[in-house]
Structure 1
């Protein structure tokens, strides 16, 4: 496998977590404008992406395969939990 192929595989592994975290941060900022006024959209997205990426790595380690439904459920939990904690703390 070439270095470009390896980079492409890693990017595709984390792409669902990054996209869902970005969409969730945007939706949260849109729905709860007043409550999340102090939090930046970028901070919500980065914390969600970090949690989702860690969850995907944990699911890969536990199941041994990428793309299992348990892995995606864990990814959603990993994305939403840090964003929820940031919202509650404000």
Structure 2
């Protein structure tokens, strides 16, 4: 595999985490209202994206392949939880 193919595979591997993180951050900003102490949008995206990539790596290690539906379900649950924590959702 050459370098260009490697980067293509890497980008396709992290794309679901990046997209979900972006959607959650944008939805949190517009539906969550104004809250004090909430990190900036790019910090929220970075936290959610990092958690999503971590879930994808664990799913790859456990199942031996990328794209298992259980991994995608865990990706949604973990990213949603991280975004809820970043938005301080427990404060109502």
Same fold (TM over 0.5): yes
> Residues 20-66 of structure 1: CA distance to partner in whole angstroms, max 9, x if unpaired?
10111001000112126743111111111000000000001111111
- Cross-structure match for 1:68: 68
Q: Which runs of 5+ in 1 are unaligned?
A: none
Alignment map for 1:53-64 (pairs within 5 Å) = 53-64=53-64
Q: How does the TM-score come out when normalised to structure 1?
A: 0.89
CA spacing shift, 1:48–1:3, aligned 2, 3 Å: same
Q: How does the TM-score come out when normalised to structure 2?
A: 0.87
User: How far apart, in 1, do the equivalents of 2:14 and 2:38 lie?
Assistant: 28
Q: Which runs of 5+ in 2 are unaligned?
A: none
Offset of residue 12 of structure 1: 0.2
**How many correspondences in the alignment?**
90
